[in-house]
Amino acid sequence: MTTPRLVGPIAHRFRRDDEGHRYYEIDWHVVTTSQHQNIAHILSNWPLFAVGSPFVLTGAWPEAVGTDLWAFCTPELNIAPHRDVKEYAGVFNWVVTQFWSTKQSWRCHTFPIENPLLEPKHITGDFVHEQRSTNVDRFGKPLLHPNFQPITGPATERRYSYPTVTISWNQSNLPLSTIVNLINKVNDAELWGLPARRVKFSDAKFERKVYGSCFYYWNVAYTFEFDEKGFDIPVPAEGTKVYSGSGSPYDPRNFIPAKSDTDENESIPLDYLGRRLVFSGINPTTGQAEYLYGQHVQTPEVIEQGNLLLLDIPVTLG
Protein backbone atom coordinates (compact mmCIF):
# COMPACT_ATOMS: atom_id res chain seq x y z
CA MET A 1 0.00 0.00 0.00
CA THR A 2 1.12 3.51 -0.74
CA THR A 3 1.73 6.20 1.86
CA PRO A 4 -1.09 8.72 2.31
CA ARG A 5 -0.49 11.86 0.24
CA LEU A 6 -0.47 15.28 1.84
CA VAL A 7 -2.41 17.84 -0.19
CA GLY A 8 -1.79 20.72 2.22
CA PRO A 9 -3.14 22.68 5.17
CA ILE A 10 -6.76 23.73 4.85
CA ALA A 11 -7.30 25.51 8.19
CA HIS A 12 -5.23 27.23 10.86
CA ARG A 13 -6.33 28.13 14.38
CA PHE A 14 -4.53 29.89 17.23
CA ARG A 15 -5.31 30.93 20.78
CA ARG A 16 -3.43 32.16 23.84
CA ASP A 17 -4.50 31.45 27.43
CA ASP A 18 -4.39 33.75 30.47
CA GLU A 19 -0.91 32.42 31.38
CA GLY A 20 0.46 33.46 28.00
CA HIS A 21 0.83 29.94 26.61
CA ARG A 22 0.27 29.65 22.86
CA TYR A 23 -1.80 26.96 21.14
CA TYR A 24 -1.80 26.11 17.42
CA GLU A 25 -4.08 23.83 15.41
CA ILE A 26 -3.71 22.86 11.75
CA ASP A 27 -6.12 20.82 9.62
CA TRP A 28 -4.22 18.85 6.98
CA HIS A 29 -5.90 17.52 3.85
CA VAL A 30 -4.70 13.95 3.32
CA VAL A 31 -5.62 11.65 0.44
CA THR A 32 -5.47 7.86 0.39
CA THR A 33 -5.49 5.76 -2.77
CA SER A 34 -8.01 3.16 -1.63
CA GLN A 35 -11.18 3.22 0.41
CA HIS A 36 -9.68 0.32 2.39
CA GLN A 37 -6.88 2.61 3.65
CA ASN A 38 -8.68 3.68 6.78
CA ILE A 39 -7.70 5.62 9.88
CA ALA A 40 -5.35 2.88 11.10
CA HIS A 41 -3.49 3.04 7.78
CA ILE A 42 -3.09 6.80 8.09
CA LEU A 43 -1.78 6.47 11.66
CA SER A 44 0.80 3.83 10.78
CA ASN A 45 1.98 5.72 7.69
CA TRP A 46 1.66 9.28 8.97
CA PRO A 47 4.03 11.55 6.95
CA LEU A 48 3.85 14.66 9.16
CA PHE A 49 5.02 15.84 12.56
CA ALA A 50 5.88 13.48 15.37
CA VAL A 51 4.89 14.28 18.92
CA GLY A 52 7.41 16.69 20.41
CA SER A 53 8.29 18.34 17.08
CA PRO A 54 8.50 22.16 17.22
CA PHE A 55 6.08 24.35 15.29
CA VAL A 56 8.20 24.60 12.13
CA LEU A 57 5.99 23.83 9.16
CA THR A 58 8.47 24.30 6.30
CA GLY A 59 9.56 20.65 6.51
CA ALA A 60 6.09 19.45 5.52
CA TRP A 61 4.89 22.56 3.67
CA PRO A 62 7.75 24.64 2.16
CA GLU A 63 5.47 27.60 1.44
CA ALA A 64 4.69 28.04 5.16
CA VAL A 65 6.06 31.17 6.82
CA GLY A 66 6.53 31.66 10.56
CA THR A 67 7.83 29.38 13.29
CA ASP A 68 7.48 28.98 17.05
CA LEU A 69 10.40 26.98 18.44
CA TRP A 70 8.85 26.86 21.91
CA ALA A 71 5.58 25.28 20.80
CA PHE A 72 5.72 21.48 20.52
CA CYS A 73 3.41 19.00 18.85
CA THR A 74 1.15 17.33 21.43
CA PRO A 75 -0.10 13.73 21.48
CA GLU A 76 -3.61 14.95 20.67
CA LEU A 77 -4.69 14.04 17.13
CA ASN A 78 -7.99 14.11 15.21
CA ILE A 79 -8.71 12.21 11.99
CA ALA A 80 -12.07 12.51 10.19
CA PRO A 81 -13.45 12.20 6.66
CA HIS A 82 -13.23 15.39 4.61
CA ARG A 83 -16.42 17.46 4.72
CA ASP A 84 -16.89 16.96 0.96
CA VAL A 85 -17.19 13.18 1.34
CA LYS A 86 -20.73 12.09 0.68
CA GLU A 87 -22.58 9.84 3.10
CA TYR A 88 -22.08 6.11 2.52
CA ALA A 89 -19.42 6.82 -0.12
CA GLY A 90 -15.89 5.40 -0.02
CA VAL A 91 -13.53 7.70 1.84
CA PHE A 92 -10.40 8.84 0.02
CA ASN A 93 -10.10 12.34 1.48
CA TRP A 94 -9.37 12.96 5.14
CA VAL A 95 -8.80 15.86 7.50
CA VAL A 96 -6.06 15.29 10.06
CA THR A 97 -5.79 17.87 12.84
CA GLN A 98 -2.57 18.35 14.78
CA PHE A 99 -1.95 20.49 17.83
CA TRP A 100 1.04 22.44 19.17
CA SER A 101 1.42 24.15 22.53
CA THR A 102 4.06 25.95 24.59
CA LYS A 103 2.62 24.39 27.76
CA GLN A 104 4.29 21.02 27.35
CA SER A 105 6.37 19.59 30.16
CA TRP A 106 7.94 17.08 27.76
CA ARG A 107 9.98 17.58 24.61
CA CYS A 108 11.60 15.13 22.20
CA HIS A 109 11.30 11.34 22.49
CA THR A 110 7.74 11.73 23.74
CA PHE A 111 5.10 10.09 21.61
CA PRO A 112 2.05 7.93 22.13
CA ILE A 113 3.22 4.37 22.72
CA GLU A 114 0.84 1.67 21.57
CA ASN A 115 3.51 -1.03 21.35
CA PRO A 116 5.64 -1.42 24.51
CA LEU A 117 8.53 -2.68 22.36
CA LEU A 118 8.75 0.79 20.77
CA GLU A 119 9.39 2.57 24.06
CA PRO A 120 12.86 4.20 24.12
CA LYS A 121 15.61 2.91 26.38
CA HIS A 122 15.59 4.39 29.87
CA ILE A 123 19.03 5.34 31.25
CA THR A 124 19.80 6.19 34.88
CA GLY A 125 23.06 6.69 36.75
CA ASP A 126 24.40 6.37 40.28
CA PHE A 127 27.63 6.07 42.27
CA VAL A 128 28.85 3.11 44.31
CA HIS A 129 31.05 3.73 47.35
CA GLU A 130 33.39 1.23 48.97
CA GLN A 131 36.51 1.03 51.13
CA ARG A 132 39.70 0.06 49.35
CA SER A 133 43.18 -0.43 50.76
CA THR A 134 46.52 -0.01 49.03
CA ASN A 135 50.17 -0.57 49.86
CA VAL A 136 51.57 1.78 47.20
CA ASP A 137 51.19 5.52 46.65
CA ARG A 138 49.88 7.20 43.50
CA PHE A 139 53.33 6.87 41.93
CA GLY A 140 53.45 3.11 42.53
CA LYS A 141 56.00 3.36 45.34
CA PRO A 142 55.48 1.17 48.43
CA LEU A 143 54.02 2.75 51.55
CA LEU A 144 56.79 2.47 54.16
CA HIS A 145 57.44 3.69 57.67
CA PRO A 146 60.75 5.52 58.36
CA ASN A 147 62.17 2.14 59.40
CA PHE A 148 61.27 0.83 55.90
CA GLN A 149 58.63 -1.54 57.19
CA PRO A 150 55.35 -1.51 55.23
CA ILE A 151 52.47 0.66 56.39
CA THR A 152 49.40 -1.48 57.13
CA GLY A 153 45.99 -1.16 58.72
CA PRO A 154 43.32 1.57 58.47
CA ALA A 155 45.87 4.17 57.33
CA THR A 156 46.02 2.45 53.94
CA GLU A 157 42.23 2.50 53.43
CA ARG A 158 40.39 5.08 51.37
CA ARG A 159 36.75 5.65 50.42
CA TYR A 160 36.50 4.94 46.69
CA SER A 161 33.56 5.99 44.49
CA TYR A 162 32.85 4.83 40.98
CA PRO A 163 29.87 5.52 38.70
CA THR A 164 27.29 3.05 37.47
CA VAL A 165 24.66 3.30 34.75
CA THR A 166 21.48 1.24 34.40
CA ILE A 167 19.79 0.82 31.00
CA SER A 168 16.28 -0.63 30.89
CA TRP A 169 13.90 -1.29 28.01
CA ASN A 170 11.35 -3.77 26.69
CA GLN A 171 12.21 -6.76 24.51
CA SER A 172 10.10 -9.38 22.82
CA ASN A 173 12.36 -12.20 24.03
CA LEU A 174 14.70 -12.64 26.97
CA PRO A 175 18.32 -13.04 25.77
CA LEU A 176 19.22 -15.19 28.76
CA SER A 177 22.12 -17.00 27.10
CA THR A 178 23.74 -13.68 26.15
CA ILE A 179 23.27 -12.35 29.69
CA VAL A 180 24.81 -15.46 31.24
CA ASN A 181 27.74 -15.33 28.82
CA LEU A 182 28.55 -11.65 29.49
CA ILE A 183 27.65 -11.07 33.14
CA ASN A 184 30.67 -9.95 35.23
CA LYS A 185 32.76 -9.41 32.09
CA VAL A 186 34.43 -6.16 31.04
CA ASN A 187 34.39 -4.50 27.64
CA ASP A 188 36.86 -5.93 25.13
CA ALA A 189 37.01 -2.69 23.10
CA GLU A 190 36.35 1.02 23.54
CA LEU A 191 32.84 1.64 24.85
CA TRP A 192 31.11 4.93 25.73
CA GLY A 193 34.37 6.82 25.36
CA LEU A 194 36.29 4.51 27.71
CA PRO A 195 39.06 2.11 26.64
CA ALA A 196 38.89 -1.65 27.00
CA ARG A 197 38.51 -3.17 30.49
CA ARG A 198 37.01 -0.01 31.99
CA VAL A 199 33.30 -0.97 31.79
CA LYS A 200 31.93 -3.99 33.67
CA PHE A 201 28.54 -5.65 33.13
CA SER A 202 27.73 -6.19 36.79
CA ASP A 203 23.99 -6.87 37.11
CA ALA A 204 20.89 -7.82 35.15
CA LYS A 205 17.25 -7.79 36.18
CA PHE A 206 14.32 -8.95 34.04
CA GLU A 207 10.57 -9.28 34.38
CA ARG A 208 7.96 -10.79 32.09
CA LYS A 209 4.98 -8.52 31.47
CA VAL A 210 1.76 -8.73 29.51
CA TYR A 211 0.24 -6.11 27.23
CA GLY A 212 -3.48 -6.41 26.60
CA SER A 213 -4.63 -9.97 27.18
CA CYS A 214 -2.19 -12.13 25.27
CA PHE A 215 0.97 -10.21 24.25
CA TYR A 216 3.91 -11.09 26.50
CA TYR A 217 7.17 -9.19 26.54
CA TRP A 218 10.20 -8.73 28.82
CA ASN A 219 11.47 -5.66 30.62
CA VAL A 220 15.23 -5.95 31.15
CA ALA A 221 17.55 -3.70 33.17
CA TYR A 222 21.32 -3.95 32.80
CA THR A 223 23.74 -2.26 35.22
CA PHE A 224 27.29 -1.35 34.27
CA GLU A 225 30.15 -0.15 36.47
CA PHE A 226 32.89 2.25 35.37
CA ASP A 227 36.45 2.47 36.66
CA GLU A 228 38.91 4.79 34.94
CA LYS A 229 41.82 2.73 36.25
CA GLY A 230 40.26 -0.54 35.19
CA PHE A 231 39.02 -3.47 37.21
CA ASP A 232 42.38 -5.26 37.32
CA ILE A 233 43.98 -4.89 40.76
CA PRO A 234 47.69 -3.95 40.93
CA VAL A 235 49.70 -6.45 43.00
CA PRO A 236 53.06 -5.22 44.37
CA ALA A 237 55.64 -8.02 44.40
CA GLU A 238 56.57 -9.29 47.85
CA GLY A 239 57.18 -12.60 49.56
CA THR A 240 59.23 -14.75 51.88
CA LYS A 241 61.42 -16.12 49.10
CA VAL A 242 63.96 -14.23 46.96
CA TYR A 243 66.04 -14.99 43.90
CA SER A 244 69.36 -16.48 44.99
CA GLY A 245 71.31 -14.78 42.20
CA SER A 246 72.43 -17.99 40.52
CA GLY A 247 70.69 -19.89 37.77
CA SER A 248 67.61 -18.69 35.97
CA PRO A 249 65.27 -16.29 37.83
CA TYR A 250 62.42 -18.12 36.05
CA ASP A 251 63.23 -21.42 37.78
CA PRO A 252 61.42 -21.69 41.15
CA ARG A 253 64.23 -23.91 42.45
CA ASN A 254 66.56 -20.91 42.45
CA PHE A 255 64.62 -19.06 45.16
CA ILE A 256 65.68 -19.17 48.79
CA PRO A 257 64.04 -17.98 52.04
CA ALA A 258 64.28 -14.24 52.71
CA LYS A 259 66.16 -13.72 55.97
CA SER A 260 66.21 -10.73 58.31
CA ASP A 261 69.31 -9.42 60.08
CA THR A 262 68.47 -11.85 62.88
CA ASP A 263 68.31 -14.74 60.41
CA GLU A 264 64.55 -15.04 60.70
CA ASN A 265 62.25 -15.56 57.75
CA GLU A 266 60.52 -12.35 56.66
CA SER A 267 58.29 -11.04 53.89
CA ILE A 268 59.99 -8.35 51.82
CA PRO A 269 59.28 -6.29 48.66
CA LEU A 270 60.82 -7.67 45.48
CA ASP A 271 62.04 -6.22 42.19
CA TYR A 272 61.03 -7.45 38.74
CA LEU A 273 63.23 -10.58 39.00
CA GLY A 274 62.13 -11.50 42.51
CA ARG A 275 65.28 -10.07 44.14
CA ARG A 276 65.59 -8.15 47.37
CA LEU A 277 65.51 -4.40 46.68
CA VAL A 278 69.06 -3.05 46.43
CA PHE A 279 69.59 0.35 48.07
CA SER A 280 71.30 2.80 45.69
CA GLY A 281 71.32 6.05 47.63
CA ILE A 282 69.29 9.02 48.86
CA ASN A 283 67.55 11.30 46.38
CA PRO A 284 69.03 14.76 47.09
CA THR A 285 65.80 16.47 46.08
CA THR A 286 63.21 14.41 47.94
CA GLY A 287 65.43 12.93 50.64
CA GLN A 288 63.86 9.54 49.95
CA ALA A 289 65.65 6.25 49.67
CA GLU A 290 66.12 4.95 46.14
CA TYR A 291 66.78 1.45 44.90
CA LEU A 292 68.54 -0.02 41.91
CA TYR A 293 65.20 -1.43 40.81
CA GLY A 294 61.91 -0.42 42.43
CA GLN A 295 59.33 -2.80 43.80
CA HIS A 296 57.76 -4.63 40.89
CA VAL A 297 54.00 -4.16 40.44
CA GLN A 298 52.03 -6.44 38.16
CA THR A 299 48.39 -6.07 37.15
CA PRO A 300 47.07 -9.48 36.14
CA GLU A 301 43.95 -9.52 33.96
CA VAL A 302 41.77 -11.84 35.99
CA ILE A 303 38.32 -10.67 34.87
CA GLU A 304 37.21 -12.03 31.50
CA GLN A 305 36.23 -9.64 28.73
CA GLY A 306 33.60 -9.72 25.99
CA ASN A 307 31.67 -7.70 23.44
CA LEU A 308 29.09 -5.95 25.64
CA LEU A 309 27.36 -4.49 22.58
CA LEU A 310 25.84 -7.96 22.07
CA LEU A 311 23.43 -6.93 24.84
CA ASP A 312 21.87 -4.46 22.36
CA ILE A 313 22.89 -1.52 24.54
CA PRO A 314 23.37 1.95 22.94
CA VAL A 315 26.69 2.59 21.22
CA THR A 316 26.84 6.01 22.93
CA LEU A 317 25.26 7.45 26.05
CA GLY A 318 25.03 10.97 24.63
Mind listing the pLDDT tens digit for each residue in 8-34?
Answer: 888 999 999 998 999 999 999 888 877
For range 47-71, the mean pLDDT: 82
> Of 134, 136, 129, which is closest to residue 157 (Cα–Cα)?
134
Q: What is the pLDDT of residues 237-257, one digit of tens each?
A: 889 999 998 999 999 999 999
Give the pLDDT score at 109.
46
Count structural domains, the chain.
3
Query: Which one of 59, 84, 112 terminates a domain?
Result: 112
Same domain, 250 and 158: no
Q: Is residue 314 included in any domain, yes or no?
A: no
Q: Residue 36 pLDDT more than 70?
A: no
Same domain, 101 and 122: no
Q: What is the pLDDT of residues 116-151, one digit of tens each?
A: 777 788 899 888 787 877 777 777 677 777 776 778
Query: Which one of 112, 146, 181 terminates a domain?
Result: 112
For range 280-303, the mean pLDDT: 85
Same domain, 44 and 75: yes
Q: Is residue 175 included in any domain, yes or no?
A: yes
> Of 129, 144, 131, which is closest to residue 236 (Cα–Cα)?
144
SS3 content of the chain, % helix, strand, coil (to 5): 10, 45, 45
Contact of 278 with 85, CB cutoff 8 Å? no
Same domain, 126 and 224: yes
Question: What is the pairing mode between strands 186-187 and 305-306?
Answer: parallel
> Of 73, 62, 83, 80, which is closest to residue 8 (Cα–Cα)?
62
Q: Is residue 315 included in any domain, yes or no?
A: no
What CA–CA distance (Å, rounded) separates 66 from 62? 11
Handedness of CA 106, 109, 114, 117 (dihedral sign): negative
For the whole prediction, is pTM greater than 0.75?
Answer: no
Question: To the nearest whole number, what is the mean pLDDT of the chain?
Answer: 84
For range 1-10, the mean pLDDT: 78
Q: Lowest mean pLDDT: which of 181-185, 222-226, 281-285? A: 281-285
Q: Residue 48 pLDDT more than 80?
A: no
Same domain, 138 and 100: no
DSSP E strands: which ranges in the chain? 5-16, 22-31, 54-56, 67-81, 93-101, 122-133, 157-171, 186-187, 199-211, 215-226, 235-236, 238-239, 241-243, 255-257, 268-269, 279-282, 289-291, 297-298, 305-306
Same domain, 205 and 251: no
Same domain, 203 and 218: yes
Give the pLDDT score at 292.
87
Q: Is residue 318 included in any domain, yes or no?
A: no
> Of 188, 187, 189, which is closest to residue 226 (Cα–Cα)?
187
Same domain, 203 and 239: no
Q: Is residue 316 included in any domain, yes or no?
A: no
Q: Residue 305 pLDDT more than 90?
A: yes
Same domain, 215 and 258: no
Contact of 160 with 131, CB cutoff 8 Å? yes
- In order of 48, 73, 191, 263, the CA distances from 27 in angstroms are 12, 13, 46, 97
Q: Enumerate residues 6+ apart whose C-beta is below 8 A from 66.
A: 57
Give the domain range for residue 9: 5-112
Same domain, 105 and 129: no
Give the pLDDT score at 90.
61
For range 287-296, the mean pLDDT: 83
Same domain, 126 and 218: yes
Q: Is residue 193 included in any domain, yes or no?
A: yes
Same domain, 177 and 246: no
Query: Which one of 112, 139, 160 terminates a domain?
Result: 112
Q: Is residue 313 included in any domain, yes or no?
A: no
Q: Which has more pLDDT, 191 or 155? A: 191
